[in-house]
Amino acid sequence: MTFAVVAEGLRKRYGDTWAVEGFDLAVPEGTVCGLLGPNGAGKTTVVRMLTTLLRPDGGCAAVAGHDVVRQAAQVRSRMGLVGQNAAVDEILSARQNLVMFGRLSHLGLARARSRAEELIERFDLAETGGKPVKQFSGGMRRRLDLAVSMILSPPVLFLDEPTAGLDPRGRNEVWEAVRALVATGCTALLTTQYLEEADQLADRISIMDTGKVIAEGTPGELKSALGGDRVEVVLHDAADLPAAAGLVERATGTEPSLDPDTRRVGAPVREKAAALAELARLLEAAGLAVEDIGVRRPTLDEVFLHLTGDARDPHKEVAA
Protein backbone atom coordinates (compact mmCIF):
# COMPACT_ATOMS: atom_id res chain seq x y z
CA MET A 1 0.00 0.00 0.00
CA THR A 2 1.27 3.49 -0.79
CA PHE A 3 0.71 6.24 1.71
CA ALA A 4 -0.03 9.78 0.59
CA VAL A 5 0.60 11.26 4.02
CA VAL A 6 3.00 9.81 6.57
CA ALA A 7 4.01 11.30 9.92
CA GLU A 8 6.34 9.74 12.44
CA GLY A 9 6.91 11.13 15.90
CA LEU A 10 6.05 14.67 14.78
CA ARG A 11 6.64 17.25 17.53
CA LYS A 12 6.12 20.98 17.89
CA ARG A 13 6.74 23.12 20.92
CA TYR A 14 5.43 26.60 21.68
CA GLY A 15 7.45 28.02 24.55
CA ASP A 16 7.43 25.39 27.28
CA THR A 17 4.41 23.43 26.10
CA TRP A 18 4.37 20.75 23.47
CA ALA A 19 1.43 21.44 21.14
CA VAL A 20 2.15 18.20 19.30
CA GLU A 21 4.15 15.46 20.93
CA GLY A 22 4.86 12.27 19.04
CA PHE A 23 2.20 12.38 16.34
CA ASP A 24 2.01 9.33 14.06
CA LEU A 25 -0.19 8.96 11.02
CA ALA A 26 -0.31 7.01 7.77
CA VAL A 27 -3.00 7.83 5.21
CA PRO A 28 -3.27 5.36 2.29
CA GLU A 29 -3.59 6.86 -1.16
CA GLY A 30 -7.14 7.59 -2.29
CA THR A 31 -8.68 7.55 1.17
CA VAL A 32 -10.08 10.19 3.49
CA CYS A 33 -8.59 10.38 6.96
CA GLY A 34 -10.53 12.24 9.63
CA LEU A 35 -8.44 13.87 12.33
CA LEU A 36 -10.77 14.41 15.22
CA GLY A 37 -10.18 16.23 18.45
CA PRO A 38 -11.25 19.07 20.70
CA ASN A 39 -9.90 22.61 20.44
CA GLY A 40 -6.27 22.70 21.51
CA ALA A 41 -5.68 19.03 20.72
CA GLY A 42 -3.05 20.04 18.17
CA LYS A 43 -4.93 19.30 14.94
CA THR A 44 -4.19 22.65 13.32
CA THR A 45 -0.54 22.51 14.36
CA VAL A 46 -0.29 19.10 12.67
CA VAL A 47 -1.88 20.42 9.47
CA ARG A 48 0.43 23.46 9.48
CA MET A 49 3.46 21.18 9.75
CA LEU A 50 2.22 18.81 7.01
CA THR A 51 1.52 21.75 4.67
CA THR A 52 5.01 23.28 5.18
CA LEU A 53 3.67 26.34 7.00
CA LEU A 54 5.33 25.33 10.24
CA ARG A 55 8.67 23.66 10.82
CA PRO A 56 8.50 20.61 13.12
CA ASP A 57 10.74 20.54 16.20
CA GLY A 58 11.14 16.79 15.87
CA GLY A 59 10.04 13.72 13.95
CA CYS A 60 9.45 13.63 10.23
CA ALA A 61 6.63 13.70 7.74
CA ALA A 62 6.13 13.20 4.04
CA VAL A 63 3.32 14.30 1.74
CA ALA A 64 2.95 12.71 -1.71
CA GLY A 65 6.33 11.07 -1.15
CA HIS A 66 8.23 14.28 -0.37
CA ASP A 67 9.69 15.36 2.95
CA VAL A 68 7.82 18.38 4.30
CA VAL A 69 10.99 20.12 5.51
CA ARG A 70 13.70 19.20 3.02
CA GLN A 71 11.45 19.07 -0.06
CA ALA A 72 8.93 21.71 0.94
CA ALA A 73 8.71 23.16 -2.58
CA GLN A 74 7.80 19.77 -4.09
CA VAL A 75 5.20 19.23 -1.36
CA ARG A 76 3.64 22.63 -2.11
CA SER A 77 3.06 21.81 -5.77
CA ARG A 78 1.38 18.51 -4.84
CA MET A 79 -1.10 19.51 -2.18
CA GLY A 80 -4.03 21.82 -1.65
CA LEU A 81 -5.01 23.46 1.61
CA VAL A 82 -8.52 24.48 2.57
CA GLY A 83 -9.80 26.00 5.76
CA GLN A 84 -8.84 28.25 8.57
CA ASN A 85 -5.17 28.30 7.60
CA ALA A 86 -5.47 29.57 4.08
CA ALA A 87 -7.72 32.38 3.02
CA VAL A 88 -8.76 33.72 -0.34
CA ASP A 89 -8.54 37.41 -1.21
CA GLU A 90 -11.67 39.11 0.15
CA ILE A 91 -11.52 42.16 -2.08
CA LEU A 92 -11.34 40.26 -5.36
CA SER A 93 -14.12 38.28 -7.05
CA ALA A 94 -14.19 34.48 -7.34
CA ARG A 95 -12.86 34.65 -10.90
CA GLN A 96 -10.09 37.13 -10.01
CA ASN A 97 -9.02 34.90 -7.13
CA LEU A 98 -8.94 31.79 -9.30
CA VAL A 99 -6.97 33.51 -12.07
CA MET A 100 -4.51 35.01 -9.59
CA PHE A 101 -3.90 31.72 -7.78
CA GLY A 102 -3.72 29.95 -11.15
CA ARG A 103 -0.97 32.31 -12.29
CA LEU A 104 0.81 31.84 -8.97
CA SER A 105 0.63 28.11 -9.68
CA HIS A 106 2.45 28.91 -12.96
CA LEU A 107 -0.30 27.84 -15.30
CA GLY A 108 0.25 30.87 -17.54
CA LEU A 109 -2.42 33.48 -18.10
CA ALA A 110 -4.48 31.69 -20.78
CA ARG A 111 -4.49 28.38 -18.93
CA ALA A 112 -5.18 30.12 -15.60
CA ARG A 113 -8.22 31.80 -17.16
CA SER A 114 -9.66 28.64 -18.68
CA ARG A 115 -8.98 26.71 -15.47
CA ALA A 116 -10.83 29.43 -13.54
CA GLU A 117 -13.86 28.96 -15.79
CA GLU A 118 -13.76 25.17 -15.30
CA LEU A 119 -13.63 25.53 -11.54
CA ILE A 120 -16.35 28.20 -11.42
CA GLU A 121 -18.56 25.76 -13.30
CA ARG A 122 -17.59 22.76 -11.19
CA PHE A 123 -17.99 24.46 -7.82
CA ASP A 124 -21.14 26.27 -8.85
CA LEU A 125 -19.75 29.75 -8.36
CA ALA A 126 -21.14 31.42 -11.48
CA GLU A 127 -23.91 33.11 -9.46
CA THR A 128 -21.31 35.11 -7.53
CA GLY A 129 -20.47 37.05 -10.71
CA GLY A 130 -18.17 39.97 -10.02
CA LYS A 131 -19.03 40.25 -6.33
CA PRO A 132 -16.09 40.55 -3.96
CA VAL A 133 -15.56 37.51 -1.73
CA LYS A 134 -16.35 39.67 1.30
CA GLN A 135 -20.03 39.58 0.24
CA PHE A 136 -20.18 35.78 -0.20
CA SER A 137 -22.16 33.48 2.06
CA GLY A 138 -20.09 31.15 4.24
CA GLY A 139 -20.79 28.16 2.00
CA MET A 140 -19.90 29.98 -1.24
CA ARG A 141 -16.70 31.21 0.29
CA ARG A 142 -15.66 27.75 1.37
CA ARG A 143 -16.53 26.42 -2.10
CA LEU A 144 -14.23 29.04 -3.60
CA ASP A 145 -11.61 28.00 -1.06
CA LEU A 146 -11.95 24.40 -2.29
CA ALA A 147 -11.84 25.52 -5.92
CA VAL A 148 -8.61 27.46 -5.31
CA SER A 149 -6.99 24.47 -3.65
CA MET A 150 -7.96 22.32 -6.66
CA ILE A 151 -6.34 24.55 -9.30
CA LEU A 152 -3.48 22.10 -9.82
CA SER A 153 -5.67 19.01 -9.11
CA PRO A 154 -3.27 18.08 -6.31
CA PRO A 155 -3.09 14.42 -5.29
CA VAL A 156 -3.35 15.37 -1.59
CA LEU A 157 -5.85 17.74 -0.05
CA PHE A 158 -5.79 19.10 3.50
CA LEU A 159 -9.09 20.32 4.86
CA ASP A 160 -8.68 22.12 8.17
CA GLU A 161 -12.11 22.37 9.79
CA PRO A 162 -13.68 23.06 6.40
CA THR A 163 -17.18 23.57 7.81
CA ALA A 164 -16.33 25.55 10.96
CA GLY A 165 -18.79 28.41 11.35
CA LEU A 166 -21.09 27.30 8.51
CA ASP A 167 -24.85 26.85 8.79
CA PRO A 168 -26.27 23.37 7.98
CA ARG A 169 -26.87 24.34 4.35
CA GLY A 170 -23.33 25.59 3.90
CA ARG A 171 -22.05 22.47 5.58
CA ASN A 172 -23.94 20.24 3.18
CA GLU A 173 -22.60 22.22 0.22
CA VAL A 174 -19.05 21.68 1.42
CA TRP A 175 -19.63 17.99 2.14
CA GLU A 176 -20.98 17.49 -1.37
CA ALA A 177 -17.95 19.23 -2.85
CA VAL A 178 -15.53 17.19 -0.73
CA ARG A 179 -17.25 13.91 -1.69
CA ALA A 180 -17.02 14.85 -5.36
CA LEU A 181 -13.29 15.56 -5.00
CA VAL A 182 -12.59 12.32 -3.21
CA ALA A 183 -14.47 10.44 -5.92
CA THR A 184 -11.80 11.64 -8.38
CA GLY A 185 -9.19 9.67 -6.42
CA CYS A 186 -7.61 12.37 -4.36
CA THR A 187 -6.34 11.67 -0.83
CA ALA A 188 -7.72 13.90 1.89
CA LEU A 189 -6.83 14.69 5.47
CA LEU A 190 -9.75 16.35 7.19
CA THR A 191 -9.65 17.86 10.64
CA THR A 192 -12.86 18.49 12.44
CA GLN A 193 -14.47 18.89 15.82
CA TYR A 194 -17.72 17.54 14.44
CA LEU A 195 -17.97 13.82 14.91
CA GLU A 196 -20.77 13.64 12.41
CA GLU A 197 -18.53 15.17 9.77
CA ALA A 198 -15.81 12.58 10.30
CA ASP A 199 -18.44 9.84 10.29
CA GLN A 200 -19.89 11.18 7.02
CA LEU A 201 -16.68 11.76 5.09
CA ALA A 202 -13.81 9.72 6.49
CA ASP A 203 -12.72 6.16 5.71
CA ARG A 204 -10.55 6.06 8.81
CA ILE A 205 -10.49 8.30 11.85
CA SER A 206 -7.62 9.26 14.12
CA ILE A 207 -8.71 10.73 17.42
CA MET A 208 -6.31 13.28 18.78
CA ASP A 209 -5.97 14.72 22.25
CA THR A 210 -3.19 16.76 23.90
CA GLY A 211 -0.84 16.51 20.94
CA LYS A 212 -1.05 12.85 20.00
CA VAL A 213 -3.28 10.23 18.41
CA ILE A 214 -5.11 8.33 21.15
CA ALA A 215 -7.22 6.04 18.97
CA GLU A 216 -7.38 5.07 15.32
CA GLY A 217 -9.70 3.01 13.18
CA THR A 218 -12.70 3.00 10.89
CA PRO A 219 -15.81 4.71 12.32
CA GLY A 220 -17.31 1.22 12.80
CA GLU A 221 -14.25 -0.14 14.62
CA LEU A 222 -14.14 2.83 16.95
CA LYS A 223 -17.80 2.42 17.76
CA SER A 224 -17.45 -1.30 18.46
CA ALA A 225 -14.44 -0.61 20.66
CA LEU A 226 -16.81 1.07 23.06
CA GLY A 227 -18.72 -2.14 23.67
CA GLY A 228 -21.38 -2.75 21.08
CA ASP A 229 -25.04 -1.95 21.47
CA ARG A 230 -26.69 0.34 23.98
CA VAL A 231 -30.20 0.62 25.22
CA GLU A 232 -31.42 4.19 25.55
CA VAL A 233 -34.41 5.97 26.98
CA VAL A 234 -35.39 9.59 26.40
CA LEU A 235 -37.72 10.86 29.13
CA HIS A 236 -40.41 13.45 28.90
CA ASP A 237 -39.44 14.99 32.22
CA ALA A 238 -35.82 15.44 33.39
CA ALA A 239 -36.97 14.99 37.01
CA ASP A 240 -37.61 11.32 36.26
CA LEU A 241 -33.96 10.69 35.31
CA PRO A 242 -32.78 9.18 38.64
CA ALA A 243 -35.78 6.86 38.80
CA ALA A 244 -35.28 5.79 35.18
CA ALA A 245 -31.56 5.25 35.78
CA GLY A 246 -32.41 2.76 38.53
CA LEU A 247 -34.68 0.87 36.17
CA VAL A 248 -32.10 0.83 33.37
CA GLU A 249 -29.58 -0.60 35.80
CA ARG A 250 -32.00 -3.30 36.85
CA ALA A 251 -32.79 -4.23 33.26
CA THR A 252 -29.22 -4.25 31.91
CA GLY A 253 -27.16 -5.07 34.97
CA THR A 254 -24.68 -2.29 34.13
CA GLU A 255 -24.30 1.22 35.45
CA PRO A 256 -26.12 3.66 33.15
CA SER A 257 -24.89 7.06 31.95
CA LEU A 258 -27.14 10.12 32.26
CA ASP A 259 -27.39 13.17 30.06
CA PRO A 260 -29.69 15.73 31.72
CA ASP A 261 -29.50 18.11 28.72
CA THR A 262 -31.18 15.63 26.40
CA ARG A 263 -33.08 13.80 29.23
CA ARG A 264 -31.37 10.62 28.16
CA VAL A 265 -30.39 7.48 30.10
CA GLY A 266 -28.39 4.73 28.44
CA ALA A 267 -26.33 1.63 29.18
CA PRO A 268 -24.47 -1.02 27.21
CA VAL A 269 -26.38 -4.30 26.71
CA ARG A 270 -25.61 -7.84 25.57
CA GLU A 271 -29.04 -9.47 25.27
CA LYS A 272 -30.56 -6.48 23.56
CA ALA A 273 -34.08 -7.79 22.88
CA ALA A 274 -34.55 -9.16 26.37
CA ALA A 275 -33.12 -6.05 28.04
CA LEU A 276 -35.29 -3.79 25.92
CA ALA A 277 -38.47 -5.73 26.70
CA GLU A 278 -37.63 -5.84 30.41
CA LEU A 279 -36.88 -2.11 30.49
CA ALA A 280 -40.12 -1.25 28.67
CA ARG A 281 -42.07 -3.30 31.21
CA LEU A 282 -40.31 -1.63 34.19
CA LEU A 283 -40.88 1.87 32.81
CA GLU A 284 -44.51 1.12 32.17
CA ALA A 285 -44.96 -0.25 35.69
CA ALA A 286 -43.26 2.83 37.22
CA GLY A 287 -45.53 5.09 35.16
CA LEU A 288 -42.67 7.22 33.71
CA ALA A 289 -43.49 9.25 30.61
CA VAL A 290 -41.13 8.06 27.85
CA GLU A 291 -40.50 9.98 24.64
CA ASP A 292 -38.24 7.46 22.98
CA ILE A 293 -36.78 4.09 23.74
CA GLY A 294 -34.53 1.88 21.66
CA VAL A 295 -31.34 -0.05 21.08
CA ARG A 296 -28.56 1.43 19.00
CA ARG A 297 -24.82 1.37 18.39
CA PRO A 298 -22.79 4.04 20.20
CA THR A 299 -22.26 7.31 18.36
CA LEU A 300 -18.82 8.68 17.68
CA ASP A 301 -19.65 11.29 20.31
CA GLU A 302 -19.64 8.59 22.91
CA VAL A 303 -16.42 7.07 21.59
CA PHE A 304 -14.91 10.52 21.75
CA LEU A 305 -16.08 11.27 25.28
CA HIS A 306 -15.01 7.84 26.42
CA LEU A 307 -11.50 8.32 25.04
CA THR A 308 -10.90 11.93 25.99
CA GLY A 309 -12.53 11.76 29.42
CA ASP A 310 -16.03 12.88 30.30
CA ALA A 311 -14.87 16.25 31.59
CA ARG A 312 -14.19 17.25 28.03
CA ASP A 313 -17.52 17.61 26.31
CA PRO A 314 -16.82 18.34 22.63
CA HIS A 315 -20.07 20.28 22.25
CA LYS A 316 -19.07 22.67 24.98
CA GLU A 317 -15.69 23.13 23.33
CA VAL A 318 -17.42 23.96 20.07
CA ALA A 319 -19.63 26.52 21.74
CA ALA A 320 -16.71 28.20 23.52
Partner 1 sequence: MTPGTAEVPYDPITRLRWAVADCWTMTLRILAHWARRPGQVAVGLLFPVMIVLMFGYLFGGGMAVPGGGDYREYLMPGMFAISMLFGIETTFTAVAADAAKGVTDRFRSMPVARSAVVAGRCVADMLNAALGLAVLILCGLAVGWRWHDGWGRSAAAIGLLLLLRLAFLWVGIHLGLVVGSPDAVVAVQILVWPVGFLSNAFVWTDTMPGWLAAVAEWNPLAATVTATRELFGNPTGGGSWIAGHATLMAVVWPLALIAVFFPLAVRRYARLDR
Using CB under 8 A as the criterion, which residues of the chain lie in contact with partner 1 when the complex forms? 51-55, 73-74, 76-79, 81, 84-92, 96, 100-101, 103-107, 111, 115, 118, 132, 148, 151-154
In this complex, which beta carbon is closest to partner 1, that of residue 10 or of residue 88? Answer: 88
Measured CA to CA, the distance from residue 113 to residue 115 in angstroms comes to 5
Strands 187-192 and 32-36 come out as parallel
How remote is the C-alpha of 255 from its chain's centroid? 31
State which residue, 95 or 212, has the beta carbon closest to partner 1. Answer: 95
What distance in Å separates the CA atoms of residue 308 and residue 304, rounded to the nearest whole number?
Answer: 6
Q: 94-104 and 138-149 helices cross at what angle (nearest 10)?
A: 20
Query: Shortest Cβ distance from residue 75 to partner 1 (Å)?
Result: 9
Residue placing its CB nearer to partner 1 in the complex, 182 or 279 = 182
Closer residue to partner 1, CB minimum distance, 11 or 115: 115
Q: Look at strands 156-160 and 79-83 and give their pairing.
A: parallel
CB of 153 to partner 1, least distance (A): 5
Q: Are 265 and 225 spatial neighbours (Cβ–Cβ below 8 Å)?
A: no
User: In terms of CB distance, is 69 or 290 closer to partner 1?
Assistant: 69
> For residues 288 and 36, what is the distance between their CA atoms, to the nearest angstrom?
38
CB of 208 to partner 1, least distance (A): 21
Q: Shortest distance, CB of residue 104 to partner 1, whole angstroms?
A: 5
Closest separation between CB of residue 134 and partner 1, Å?
10
Nearer to partner 1, 41 or 54 (CB): 54
In angstroms, give the least distance from the CB of 154 to partner 1: 8
Min separation Cβ 8 and partner 1, Å: 19
- Which of residues 16 and 261 has its CB atom nearest to partner 1 in the complex? 16
CA 96/CA 102 separation, integer angstroms: 10
Q: Would you say 36 and 195 are in contact if contact means Cβ atoms under 8 Å apart?
A: yes
CA distance 44 to 196: 19
Count how many Cα atoms sit within 13 Å of the Cα of residue 115 in the half-sphere of its side chain: 23
